[in-house]
Structure 1
Amino acid sequence: MALNSDGGASWRRLAVVIYLPTAVSFIGFGAIAPLVPLTARALGASVAEAALVVALMGIGTLIGALPAGVIADRFGEKKSLVGAMVVDIGCLLVCAFAPNTWVLAGAVFVTGLSGAMLSLARQSYLTVAVGLEYRARALSTLGGVFRIGSLLGPLMGAAVVTVWGLQAAYLVAAGTSLLAATVTMALPELPTPEHPPDEPVRLAQVLRRHAHTYATAGVGAAALMLVRTSRDALLPLWCEQVGLDAAATSLIFALSSGIDMTLFYLGGSVMDRFGRRWVSVPSMVIMSLCFALLPLAHSVVAVALFAAALGLGNGISAGVVMTIGSDASPAVGRPQFLAGWRLTTGIGQAAGPLLITAIAALAPLGAAALAIGAIGLTGAGWLWLWVREPSIQGR
């Protein structure tokens, strides 16, 4: 099913069997994500306990990265996707009827595990199914679908909760996962390798064999993830510091997210035509300069301009981390390699908010912004040095 001269038909096919269920499931996820801490509080959790329940989803995603690679290699991407969605359905139903905080916490944690499986299996499938000349656009579109779901999901969740209450939002999300699983059943199986390995591929062997890639391009991609996630943690804190109210902060975020959501295909097109560096490095430089200059922003207009520029930098980089990882992945042991890649970049993703929290506890918030900017600029140089461009005939 690799794309070739008949690329249009293949893209339409992918839109139905990959992008549609991804969008549907992410809208459901986006609907319940803001509601998890409210559900925990309704079950009697303290504020700190509710925050821990929310954190368990991210922890589950990190812990699930390596097992997801093993499962995808053992059962194949299609079965892994459907199985993870079935697990998601069960977890969402448990969340809807959870009798106490502990049961809710367990379901949220398992949702993080299944989320790791879904993300890895989708990336692995597209890496094989789409020709190299279209890979960046395919994965950038996947990244764009994530963003669309994250934007539309909370809107749907708000509407459902307003009419039917918290429990109904989880039931609707379970329904979106069921729909996504049903559509995914139509996903064509990937072709069997012409020369399958004589022995099962071991996760530890793959990780050792590609340790240099994780330590070079992987570290650069982790820095990019760190800078990306810092926007969500740092921007609202800065809005509060300069005296903006909640309504203004929400509008600024909407502006940034709106720009972010519209640029994913542009970034993928540039990567396919000119190379991965021509998106990864400029996006890092744009976001890093925004953070480094953020301490100079003291008005709603100035903060909004920086937020818009952050949306630009983040938007064009949609899918670039997945693309770089897919380019580096081997034909044998690809799911295991991508599991290690996702763990490496996931650590960077988790580190951003933690770093901001640590610096802000000891120094002014502007120091945290400067630190993120410095890390990003260093990461941009690191990516330029270590990202290897794939050889695409006719580029």
Structure 2
Amino acid sequence: MTDSPRHVLGRFAPMIYGPTLLFALGEGAVLPLIPVIANNLGADVAVAALVASALVVGQLCGNIPAGWVVARYGERPAMVGAGLLALGAIVALALAPNLALFAASVFLIGFCAAAFGLARHSFMTTRVPLVFRARALSLLGGTFRLGMFLGPFVSAALLAIFADEHVAIWFFGVTLLGAVLLVLFGRDPEEALVAEERAARANARDAAAEDSGEAVTGSIPTLERAGVFRTMWRFRGVLGRLGLAAASLSAVRSARQVVLPLWGVSIGLDAQTIALVVGVSGAIDFALFYASGQVMDRFGRLWAALPAMLLMGAGFLALSLTHDTADPGLWFGMFAAVLGVGNGLSSGLLLTLGADSAPQDDPAPFLGSWRTLTDAGGAAAPLLVSAVTAVLSLPIAIALVGAIGLLGAAGFVRWVPRYVPRIP
């Protein structure tokens, strides 16, 4: 068997990368329109924002149940089940006659997205060799980013043709159906890998039988699967230390998406300029996703984690000092690019650290807890920025985000060498 990166990653395309791209493309098309449709159903601006946040809340709530489902039934059935349930939620989303059903449907889609994402993460944790795990997971993160990047453009094109926001929801349904069909009928790499492992074990038994002259008896021992909460308790050390550092990275990433537009507005830039700066920052971020995996596989996880957190932490701190300078727009563009570089260098890092820390025989329960921590960090950051801005000021809120980034960098320096295996 050829265990080269191209061989293994190409084998994962039908079940992992293809469905990921389709799911992200549909989600990216719908996400910008959720507040618009909620407003059409009678929500004011605050309630529309709350409805939009139901997607993140659903994903946060779905991680631990998803870990139980994947551990009990396996990755492929979990992905298919989550996809079919999400299809039902999309139909309800498109036909919802009132705001309550619409919000519940958004929550359910986030819940299913958690199961879909955790199943892919668990599958790759057990099947991708450690020597190029980071590249595989960075490619997974980059595939998702590509779909989320292209989705709004597809949505804009559909709106220009049909002038109806619900068309984007039906487009999401089509892409999700395609993802489910790929998972169901695409070439399953797991079956090929299991067959290869069985053949290798059979060859080993044959060789042992020839060496000893005795028959080989007995079955292959299997480990008892631990429950979700037992796994959380067993790995409380890594979750409470490395997991919190990972949550700080998720918080800084999430804050970047909120802070950059807010900062542009606060210094008086027009919407077109803000969109251009944010777009360039996102393009830099996307361009570096595979480079991040290369760095992690060649030099170690810390070589991506530390520069990423230092760049983002220092970038936020420096940006917070530029509000009243002579040319704040120039500083805004420069530090937005710095944050894009930092975020790009961290592409796939949370997935990789979770896979590295998880028990390889049964990773799903651990990954459910890991993803809950990181999603909680991402969900809390915009709330923190909003609260500190309301009580104090936006520059102080941004400086606080920068401090979180620097503390996270210190956490990675302390805990990555302890909990993450060295690259062979």
The two structures have a TM-score, normalised by structure 1, of: 0.95
Structure 2 SS opposite 1:235: helix
CA radius of gyration, larger in:
2
- The answer as to 2:420 corresponding to 1:389 is yes
1:48-84 per-residue CA deviation (whole Å, 9 max, x = no partner) reads 2212211111111111110000000111011111111
- Residue in structure 2 matched with residue 248 of structure 1 by the alignment: 273
- Residue in structure 1 matched with residue 368 of structure 2 by the alignment: 339
- The answer as to 2:392 corresponding to 1:363 is yes
- 2:351 is aligned, of 322, 327, 335, to 322
- The answer as to 2:293 corresponding to 1:268 is yes
- 2:221 is aligned, of 195, 198, 207, to 195
- Residue in structure 2 matched with residue 238 of structure 1 by the alignment: 263
Distance (whole Å) between structure 2 residues aligned to residue 4 and residue 45 of structure 1? 56
Task: Tell me the amino acid that sits aligned with residue 10 of structure 1.
Answer: V
Q: Report deviation, 1:234.
A: 1.0
- Residue in structure 2 matched with residue 73 of structure 1 by the alignment: 71
User: Would the alpha carbon gap of residues 119 and 90 (structure 1) be closer, same or farther in structure 2, given more than 3 Å must change?
Assistant: same
Q: Report deviation, 1:4.
A: 5.2
1:67-106 per-residue CA deviation (whole Å, 9 max, x = no partner) reads 0000001110111111111112111111111111111111
* Alignment: residue pair count: 390
Matches within 5 A, 1:174-193: 174-185=173-184, 186=186, 187-189=188-190, 191=194
Task: Tell me the amino acid that sits aligned with residue 17 of structure 1.
Answer: M
Contact 1:160 1:168 in 2 (8 A): yes
- 1:23 is aligned, of 21, 24, 29, to 21
Q: Report deviation, 1:321.
A: 0.7
Distance (whole Å) between structure 2 residues aligned to residue 288 and residue 178 of structure 1? 40
Q: Report deviation, 1:162.
A: 2.0
Task: Tell me the amino acid that sits aligned with residue 190 of structure 2.
Answer: E
Matches within 5 A, 1:206-225: 206-225=231-250
Distance (whole Å) between structure 2 residues aligned to residue 56 and residue 11 of structure 1? 33
- Residue in structure 1 matched with residue 81 of structure 2 by the alignment: 83
Q: Report deviation, 1:256.
A: 0.4
The two structures have a TM-score, normalised by structure 2, of: 0.89
Contact 2:243 2:370 in 1 (8 A): yes
1:195-220 per-residue CA deviation (whole Å, 9 max, x = no partner) reads 3234x421111000000011110010
Task: Tell me the amino acid that sits aligned with residue 172 of structure 1.
Answer: F
Instruction: Give the aligned CA root-mean-square deviation in angstroms.
Output: 1.6
Segments of 5+ residues of structure 2 without an aligned counterpart are 199-219
- Residue in structure 1 matched with residue 203 of structure 2 by the alignment: none
Q: Report deviation, 1:222.
A: 0.5
Contact 1:206 1:333 in 2 (8 A): no
Segments of 5+ residues of structure 1 without an aligned counterpart are none
- Residue in structure 1 matched with residue 207 of structure 2 by the alignment: none
Distance (whole Å) between structure 2 residues aligned to residue 173 and residue 180 of structure 1? 10
85-94 or 8-17, larger mean C-alpha shift: 8-17
Q: Report deviation, 1:7.
A: 3.3
User: Would the alpha carbon gap of residues 241 and 21 (structure 1) be closer, same or farther in structure 2, given more than 3 Å must change?
Assistant: same
Q: Report deviation, 1:147.
A: 1.1
Contact 2:11 2:189 in 1 (8 A): no
- 2:380 is aligned, of 351, 364, 367, to 351
- The answer as to 2:252 corresponding to 1:227 is yes
1:32-53 per-residue CA deviation (whole Å, 9 max, x = no partner) reads 0011111111112222221221
Distance (whole Å) between structure 1 residues aligned to residue 123 and residue 407 of structure 2? 32
- Residue in structure 2 matched with residue 173 of structure 1 by the alignment: 172
